[in-house]
Structures are given as C-alpha cells and as structure tokens.
Amino acid sequence: MRELLGGKGANVAEMTRVLGEERVPAGFTITTEACVAYMRAERSEPDGMYEEVAEALSRLEHKAGKKLGDPDDPLLVSVRSGARESMPGMMDTVLNLGMNDQSVEGLAKQTDNERFAWDSYRRFVQMFGNVCRGVSGESIERAIKEQKSSAGVEDDTDLSVDDLKALTDTFKELYRDKTDKDFPQEPMEQLRQAIRAVFDSWLGERAIEYRRQNRIPDEWGTAVNVQQMVFGNKGDDSGSGVAFSRNEVTGEPEPSGDFLVNAQGEDVVSGVRTPKDIAELKDVMPEAHAALMDILAKLEGHYEDMQDTEFTVESGQLFMLQTRNAKRPAQAAVRFAVDAVEEDLLSREQAIATIDADRLDALLHPTFDPDADYAVLARGVAASPGAARGEIVFSAQDAVSASEEGRDVILVRPFTEADDVAGFYAAKGVLTSEGGKASHAALVARGMGLPCVSGASELVIDVASGTVSADGTSLAAGDLIAIDGTAGIVTLDEVELVDPEVNEHFETVLGWCDELRRLGVRANADTTEDARKAREFGAEGIGLCRTEHMFSVDDRAQKMRAMIMAESEDERRSTLDELLPLQQGDFEGLFEEMRGLPVTIRLLDPPLHEFLPDGEEVAQKVERARIEQSDDLEELERTLARIHSLAETNPMLGTRGVRLAILAPEVYEMQVRAVLRAAKAVTERSGDAPTVEIMIPLVTYEKELELMRALVERVAEEELDGDGVELRVGTMIELPRACFVADRIAEHADFFSFGTNDLTQTALGFSRDDVEAGFLNRYMEEKIVGRSPFETIDKPGVGWLVRLAAWVGRERKPELKLGICGEHGGDPDSVVFFHIAGLDYVSCSPFRVPIARVAAAQAAVAHGPGELAAAAQAAIEAGQAAQEALGDEDPGANGGSG
C-alpha cells in the first residue's frame, strides 16, 4: 500500500506483520491523500483530518498504556515523512514529540533517569524549532558548542543534566527570537505543527529539486508517520543505528552499517559523532546484535531484495524502525543480483529486475589508475564509488557557480546537510571529514552515483577560514584535489583517472541479459578507439558511423574546405580523390575492430557550411586584407562569397544529407568507393569480411533513396567482384514524412535506422541545439513535459511515428531490418519502448552499451513476446484504419514518384 501509506508507512505495517508487534513500535500513518488534499487546498488540512488523528492517537495511547503530554508518564512520538519512493534526507522529521516542562520531570521520575529525560527534551526543542519554525541549524550548533566548551567537555554525551537544562533554555530563546512566541507546551498543538511541517517539507526547495533529478512526480505527496518513540539515548545499553542486509557499497553478502551507543537515530545520520561499525555491536550488545542479524536475513527473504533498515536498542531490547529496499551503487546492485541467484533467493529474471539500468553508468566511470604512484593525503570511508578530480570548494553555492563556469570541483565540508544538496549536483565528488557510510553525504552521493569519501578524519576542514589541512599541508579553495570513493582515498597528486573494465559480476549479469534479450545492441562509433571500446562493452556491431566527424580532423578539414570551395565538378572530383584514401584508412580501422559484425556507415549528413570558417571572422579578415592590400585578399573574398552562397536561414532543414548528394553525387560516390575498398582490403588481409551497411541520411521522398541506391550499386559493381563483401543499403528514418511513407521507402531499403534526434526535432518542431538550454526547463517546471524529449523518447508523438513506420515498412518488406541510432538508444526507458515497438536493435554510445544490454533484457522480462504481439496487432489495426480513411488513391504530385 505504498501509494497510500508511503514507503515507510507501508513497510512499518508490513514489518510488524513479519516480525511481530514486539519488534516494531506502534503508530499510525496519515496518508499521502491527506497531503495531496493539503496541497490542493493551498496548504490547508482536509476537513476532519485532526479528528481522525485524535482517534488514532487515542488508540495508540491505549496500546502504549501512556498518554501524550501526561505529566507523570508521557507517551512520546516521532513524526516522520514517508513518500511513495524514498527521498533520503529530503524531508522533515520531529522526534520526542509530546514533551513539555512538566512531562520532562515525569519522564525523569518514571525512568529514574534525569539525564535521559533532559537530553530528550533538549533534542525535541532543538529539532522542533529547526524543522517546524526554521530556527537555523548554525545557531543550534553554535549553542551546543558553547555549552560544551563552558562545561569543558568534548562530547554531547558528557553534558550534565544542568548543561542540558541550560541548553534547553537556550533553544527556547532561539525559538522565541525566531517566532516571537513561547515554545508550545500543548502536545496536540505540537503534533499539529509537526504534521504540517512534514507536509510543507514535501513542498520545500530541496525536495522539489530531488524529485526533479529523480523524476518523482510532485503530485504524489508524502505520508506522515506518527510512531511511539523508543529510546536509544537511555544509557550504555541503548543505542541507534542503520543496518543493511548486505554491504551497501560493494554488495558483499555480510550485513553492514553504523551505530552509536546512547544516541538517537539522527546522531548517526547527521555525521556529528563518528559512528561505530555494526560488527562492533556484537561486543557491546551481543543479544541485540544476534537478533538484528536474524531480522536482516528474514526481511531480505520477505522483500526479495537487499534491505536498508533503521533500528534502536532501548535498554537492551531491539526495535526495528523502518526497512526499505536499499538504494545502492551499481557495483552493489550487480553483486547482489549475482549472489541472490546463487543463493536461490531470486530467479535470474527477478535478479535482473532489481538493477536500475540507468545507474550502471557509475560502474563505467573512471577510477584511479591502479598502477599510478601517488601520495595519500588522507583516508576516509569509501562512501560512494568512482574517482574524481577538481578544485576545492567549501560551499554548495561555490560549487554551483564554479560548475556554471565549466570548472570541475570537489565539494569539501566537515559534514553535509540537506541544504548542501545543490552543491552535489554541481560537483564531481564530495569529501567530508566526519560521518560514516550512512552519513548524509554518503547517502546522497550514492543515490546520485557521485564519488564520495566521507569521514576522512585526518583532514581539518575550516569552512569559515576556507582552509583544509592535513599532515602539515594547508589547502585553500581552488587548489586541486582528487578522491577515490571506491577506496576511500584523498590525494593531491594528479592521478590519472582510468576508464573502468567490466567486472566479473557485471559480466555474469550481462551474460544473463544477453540470453534474455531480444533486441540487438550496437554502438555509435566514428573512430577506431570508439569501436574498440564498443566491442569490449559487448556491442554487436556499429549502428551509426557519422562520417562527417572524420572530416573535421586537421589534415582532412583543409581538403574538405577545398572540396566545398570547388567551382566545378572536375575541380571537386580532384579534391575528393585526395580525400578518398584518407577515408578508406578510417573505414579500414573500423572494419578491423568490428570484424565479423555489421558496420553501418552513414554518408555525409550536415550542411556544407559547417566545414567552412565563421563568416564574421572571414569578413573581418577581408576588411583587414583590403586595408593592408594583402595578397590574400582575393582568396579571402572567394571564401566569403562561398560562405554567403551556402548560408541558409534554417540549415538543419536545408541542404544537408541526401539533398546534398542529389546536388553533388560525387561526394557520396567517393565515400562509397572508400567504404568498399576498405572492406575489400580488410577482407583480403584477414579473410574475415565485414557486413557493410551504407546508410543514407535525411531521406523524405522514396525517389531520393532510389537514386542513391542506384549510385551505391553502380559503384559496387565497379569496385567489388564477388570478393565476399556483404553489402546492404538502407536509410535513416528521421523525418515525419518518411515515417508516413515508410512503405514506399522500404521498397528501396534493406534496413531502416530511426534517427530519433532529428525525428524529435522535426516532429515536435523543437530545435535540438537550443531548446534544452531554452524554454524546455520551464516546460518541465510547468509539467508540460516530464523529461527532455531529446533524452527519452516522446512515446505518444515521436514514438507513434516510429511504430507507424516500423509497421508500414515491414508490411511492404517483412525482412526489413529495423534499428534506432538516436540518443534514445542508450536511455533505458526508451529501450523498453523500442522493444515493444518490435525493432531489431538499438545503437548507442559505447559507454551506454552495457546499460542498453541490461535495459533490453529487462524489457524482454517485463514485456514478453505476448505483449509485443498485442502491441504490433494494435499498430496494424491503427494503420489499416488510417489507410482505409485515405483510400488507395495516390496523394498526388507532392507524394513523389508515387
């Protein structure tokens, strides 16, 4: 019931069923629906909500045998958020609610523990003021520090009863300064304010930002959980902690986590005190430790997934406060999947479904070069894997402004808090001197796949003076630093970051995925290095080689320019002759790397003026040459005239792709000749012929492809003589008209590859170069679109065009091969869509290849062939209806050759 109760509420209820009432503190949940109603009514609670809260509270009081606010033996509660999907650290929590000036005395008497009672009260006043009324965290920290120094103690736990009383008074003053009111003594009033604060925290900036980054809908709202408090701060046989059923960083099968003796949960997460490893719980509270280990195994079996739990030990008795499926970095996700299958906990299909394909990116991120020699400045906790290098910044704000200037930065803080999250998005990595694996910094960084070293305690980080020092070295903002979150290392040396190799567990998972998936996975690669990387990552060929990239490198750019400047066909042909062997060399490299696999070469696509220098610059040079009466004047004027003659108002919709080849076929002719000669040469050398696929871009009329196919076949006849090179000719489908007349185009094509970048641009009328930095952000804020359509396929619009073209193309030519090579080929959500649409393969950048392999398998598991057939049937019926509506008539002259 997580939609209604939120993850925490649903899991606490479920956990009570699984573990028994004695293990989980009793409570009740205010539903997400109530929060939605509150938001809709512009922050006003739905009618009757507090009456229901009062009823639920009285049931809880009955069960607990205590009453909220009872001056002799008060019930205390925690008030905590809990959304449908967990948003760690993004929303508010109030603990120890129900305390006031009387009940603190009652609690002291009842528990015979005055220190505990006052510690709980000061915590409550502190947290309530901060969360519900915005008393600043800094002023609170300052007050605690001052109290400790005047008492002459180092740790919070050494503060005496009198110190705690004084601190409570200080917090009350801070509250009064902030609100002009006295701290509320009436427990129902406290509860109302806390519930409201949790609702409001759903609408807070950091929660909104987190949802935007994690694509969580704003409309969901949060539930509020009111639960009887159990106390980890009751003395040395009490404590609080977090525990994972397996190592949350590596995925290794031993439970892991942190705890603190004589502490409440927020002490562990805040990173203010450095917690102990969960294994040490065995020494201090052996019974609680044994019970916890048992429970972790039970919960994992029940949820069939790795668990992330919170617990409290009160006077030796273990209570479980929450459990959820653990968010984990890619390496832990992969390790868990493999182990879970080996342990018979999950089937392969189930195990693959537990992996977030998008996050696998982190496994493919750089690490320190294992052979590099570097001096370790400090060691800390390996909190989130991956390595990063950048300039030191000490605040989220500095991180944001540096990243806007394009500088790489590492966010360095003693510990982080919710307000620092904007800095996480801007930084390449995070480094803290305090806190463990469950600290805020670690949790948030892991969730984002951002490298993080936490608790590097040798570092003295002084944010106020903007310095960090260790081992006699003092550093300031702007100094370079490198961190390795996989090993927990900090260094000042310029360590080489190396691209990772696919690890053994990942290989196993990928092997399973390859068995399960139906979609092929190829790579977009233009260079030998790309092709090599792609093959290493498991690409089954190249789905797109953008040949224009080969013309941008130095020696070619010059020749390319000469070719464009040519005024006659003869002149153009002679420069093309010079380019041919260079192109041939490029293709040979690709074919060598991709031996035995298909390689799709796309002929020249962009408008020609992209190869010419900037018009303004040349105009200025012309001016200067005129004044100086330079010899270059004539040449410069010629260039300028050519630039002007090639200039177009909308070049992306202008003379590019196949249109260019209709005007100057000799360019494509050269390219085809180079491709075929390269294929022949590689076949002769290695005996292993590549499958060559020549692809024509930007086709919209079938006649365009017919002419180009004839050109390719003519050159093939001249160049090939039964030497085993298999040649296919196909086209990009990247314009709406091409989708509508895909049956006609299919007549001349062996394959289609959907160019969903241009198809999105032209179907939506959105400039692919501008809108993401332009109005699209506002569109996302206004929820007109969820994610950028250039990142994930617009299923109802562009996706429909893909399905239509796939259907009509295949109807005319059942053996037609269908692929996609736009950016969407590496987006897991889009990959699922392409699977359902019945495509044969996706092609994406080399680093996305493993991700696409996993996503394709997940698609096959979630949407078996049955669903595929149904989707295809629906497409066929829609297509038939469309055709009936149009009749058989030729649409006329605009329909091309008909």
Binding region for ligand PEP (CB under 6 A): 544, 546, 605, 734, 755-758, 821-822
Residue located via tokens 């792609």:
534
Give Cα 318 to chain centroid, integer Å. Answer: 36
What x-and-dash track marks residues 711-750 binding Mg ion by CB under 5 A? Answer: -----------------------x----------------
Q: Which is nearer to Mg ion, 57 or 844 (CB)?
A: 844
544 binds, among ligand PEP, Mg ion, none (CB under 5 to 8 A by kind): ligand PEP
Rounded to 10 degrees, the C-alpha dihedral 190/191/195/200 comes to 0
Bridge partners (DSSP) listed for residue 732: 753
Is 758 a binding residue for Mg ion by CB under 5 A? The answer is: yes
| Marked catalytic residue, from 365, 440, 505, 835 | 440
Complex with ligand PEP: residue 402 or 525, whichever CB lies closer? 525
**Minimum CB distance to ligand PEP, residue 651 (Å):** 12
Q: Considering the complex, what minimum distance in angstroms separates the CB of residue 400 from ligand PEP?
A: 30
Identify the helix (H) or strand (E) that includes residue 147: helix 137-151
**DSSP codes of every residue in 630-683:** -TTHHHHHHHHHHHHHH--SSGGGSS-THHHHHH-HHHHHHHHHHHHHHHHHHH
Q: How far apart are CA 697 and CA 749, in angstroms?
A: 12
C-alpha–C-alpha distance, residues 305 and 308, integer Å: 10
What is the token pair recorded at 863? Answer: 């949407």
- Cα Rg of the chain, angstroms: 33
Query: Which amino acid is present at 725?
Result: V
- Which has the closest alpha carbon to 378: 481, 257, 270? 481
* 270 contact, one of Mg ion, ligand PEP, none, CB 5-8 Å limit per kind: none
CB of 835 to ligand PEP, least distance (A): 18
Shortest separation between residue 789's beta carbon and ligand PEP, angstroms: 12
| Distance between CA atoms of residues 93 and 426, nearest Å | 27
Amino acid identity of residue 329, one-letter, is P
Long-range contacts of 616-621 (CB under 8 A, 24+ apart): 618/643
Q: Give Cβ neighbours of residue 137 (< 8 Å, ≥ 6 apart).
A: 130, 417
Q: CB under 5 to 8 A by kind: which of Mg ion, ligand PEP, none does 93 bind?
A: none
CA geometry: angle at 796 spanning 791 and 797, to 5°? 75
- State the minimum distance, in angstroms, from the CB of residue 803 to ligand PEP: 17
756 binds, among Mg ion, ligand PEP, none (CB under 5 to 8 A by kind): ligand PEP
Nearest-approach distance from CB 856 to ligand PEP, in angstroms = 18
> In angstroms, rounded to a whole number, what is the distance separating the alpha carbons of residues 609 and 707?
24
Q: Whose Cβ is closer to ligand PEP: residue 341's or residue 604's?
A: 604
Q: How many residues bind Mg ion (CB under 5 A)?
A: 3
Residue 825 makes contact with Mg ion by CB under 5 A? no
One of 545, 739, 821, 844 is an active-site residue; which one?
821
Q: Active site includes 821?
A: yes
* 657 near Mg ion, judged by CB under 5 A: no
Nearest distance, CB of residue 732 and Mg ion, angstroms:
6
Q: Which is nearer to Mg ion, 321 or 603 (CB)?
A: 603
Judged by beta carbon, residue 202 or residue 752, the one nearer ligand PEP is 752
Whichever of 184 and 697 has its CB closer to Mg ion, that residue is 697
* DSSP secondary structure letters along 218-287: GGG-EEEEEEE---S-SSTT-EEEEEESS-TTT--SS-EEEEEET--HHHHHH-SSPPEEGGGHHHH-HH
Q: Which of Mg ion, ligand PEP, none does residue 822 bind to, with CB < 5 to 8 Å depending on kind?
A: ligand PEP
Taking the least distance from each CB to Mg ion, the nearer of 436 and 755 is: 755
Q: Which one, 546 or 737, has the nearer CB to ligand PEP?
A: 546
CA–CA dist 819, 755 (Å, integer) = 9
Find the shortest distance in angstroms from Cβ 523 to Mg ion: 17
Residue 821 binding result from Mg ion, ligand PEP, none, given CB thresholds of 5 to 8 Å by partner type: ligand PEP
Find the shortest distance in angstroms from Cβ 657 to ligand PEP.
9
Yes or no: say if 550 and 556 are a contact pair by the CB < 8 Å rule.
yes
Based on the residue annotation, tell me whether 132 is a catalytic residue of this protein: no
Q: Residue 768 CB, nearest distance to Mg ion (Å)?
A: 9
Element (H, E) at 123: helix 114-133
CA–CA–CA angle 829, 835, 839 (5° rounding): 125
Question: Given the structure tokens 């190829």, which residue do they identify?
Answer: 522
Number of residues assigned to the chain: 898
> Mask of contacts with Mg ion, 418-447, x by CB under 5 A?
------------------------------
The encoded tokens of residue 784 equal: 């007109």
Beta bridge partner(s), residue 30: 224
What's the angle, vertex CA 818, arms to CA 816 and CA 821, rounded to 5?
150
The rounded distance, in Å, linking the Cα atoms of 132 and 201 is 9
**Under 8 Å between Cβ of 240 and 260:** yes
Q: Nearest-5° angle of CA 390, CA 395, CA 396?
A: 85
Q: Which is nearer to Mg ion, 29 or 731 (CB)?
A: 731
Could you tell me where the DSSP H helices lie in 523-664?
Answer: 528-536, 554-565, 569-593, 615-628, 633-646, 658-663
Q: Give the shortest CB-524-to-ligand PEP separation in angstroms.
A: 7
In this complex, which beta carbon is closest to Mg ion, that of residue 408 or of residue 548? Answer: 548
755 binds Mg ion (CB under 5 A): yes
The four Cα atoms 137, 140, 146, 147 give a dihedral, to 10 degrees, of: -140
The two most distant CA atoms of the chain are separated, in Å, by: 103
Rounded least distance, CB 758 to Mg ion, Å:
4
CA dist., res. 218 & res. 235, Å (int): 42
Please state the separation of Cα 589 from the chain's center in Å.
33
Q: What are phi and psi of 319, to 5 degrees?
A: -125, 140
Residue type, 515: E
Do residues 272 and 434 make contact, with C-beta atoms less than 8 angstroms apart? yes
- Interacting partner of 546 out of Mg ion, ligand PEP, none (Cβ under 5 to 8 A depending on kind): ligand PEP
**Identity of the residue, 546 or 863, whose beta carbon is nearer to ligand PEP in the bound complex:** 546
- Residue 728: Cβ-neighbour burial (10 angstroms; 0-12, 13-18, 19+): middle
Q: Based on CB atoms, which residue is closest to ligand PEP, 238 or 600?
A: 600
Binding residues for Mg ion (CB under 5 A) = 734, 755, 758
For the annotated catalytic residues, the residue numbers are: 440, 821
